[in-house]
Amino acid sequence: MTTEFKIVEEPKKPLSMHPKKFAMWIFVATVGMLFAALTSAYIVRQAEGNWLYFNLPTLLNWTTAVILLSSVSMQLAYWSAKKDLLDRVKLWISVTMVLGLVFLVGQFLAWQDLVAHNVYFVGNPSGSFLYVITGLHGLHIISAIIYLVIVMVSAYRFKIHSRSLAQIEMCATYWHFLGGLWLYLFIFLILNR
C-alpha cells in the first residue's frame, strides 16, 4: 500500500503597506532621483569648464541648522502623537511650521546675497544650478508646510492619536526626507563649488 504525502506550504502573507504611505514612498523616491539627476548634471557641466567659482552665502549654514532643528521638532510631534499628548502634537507641528518658514526666508535672503555678489540665475551655469537646486528644494519645503497645515487641522479635530498615526507618520517621513535631502545638497555644494 502506497500513500502519497503532499507537503503543503502555508501561503506567504503579502507585504502590506497603507496605500497612501506607498504612494508617498514612490513620491520620495522620485524626488530623490530628481535631485540625483541635478547633482549629476552639475558635476558633468562643471567639468566642461567656463564655471564661475564663488563662496556660498554664510546664511546657508544657518538655514541648515534650522532645517535640522525642524526635523527634531517634527519627531517630537510624532512621539507626542504616539503618547496621545495632543497639545504637544499641536505645539511641535507649529514649531516645525515656523522653522520651515524661517528656512524659506533664509534661503530667499541667501539668494539676495548671491545677487549682491553678482551671481545670477541667468549667466554662468554655476549660478543657474545653485538657484535651481535651492529653488526646487524650497518648493518641496512649501509642499511639506502645506502638508503640516493639513496635519495640524487633523490634530485639532482629534484625528491624530496613538491609534491613528498614518497621517503624521507620512508627514514626518516627508519632512525628515527633505531635511536629509537639504543636508546632502548643502554638503554637495560645499564640496563642488
Local structure of residue 158 (DSSP, 8 states)? T
Q: Which pLDDT score, from 0 to 100, does residue 15 have?
A: 65
For residues 140 and 162, give the distance between their C-alpha atoms in angstroms, rounded to a whole number. 28
Q: What is the mean pLDDT of residues 90-109?
A: 97
- Which amino acid, 192? N
Q: Helix or strand or coil: residue 56?
A: coil
Q: Domain 61-191: give its CATH code.
A: 1.20.120.80
Give the residues across from 161 on adjacent strands: 164
For residues 93 and 156, give the distance between their C-alpha atoms in angstroms, rounded to a whole number. 11
Share of the chain above pLDDT 90, in %: 80
Give the residues across from 164 on adjacent strands: 161
For residue 162, the number of C-alpha atoms closer than 13 Å in the C-beta half-sphere is: 5
User: From the CB of residue 162, how many other CB atoms can be counted at a distance below 10 Å?
Assistant: 10
Average pLDDT, the chain: 92
User: Is residue 2's pLDDT more than 70?
Assistant: no
For the stretch 146-161, pLDDT in tens is 999 999 999 999 899 8
- What is the domain partition of the chain in residue ranges? 61-191
Cα torsion angle, 17, 18, 23, 24, sign: negative
Rg (CA), the chain: 22
DSSP letter string over 100-137?
Answer: HHHHHHHHHHHHHHHHHTT--SSSSHHHHHHHHHHHHH
- Which amino acid, 56? L
Q: What is the mean pLDDT of residues 71-92?
A: 96
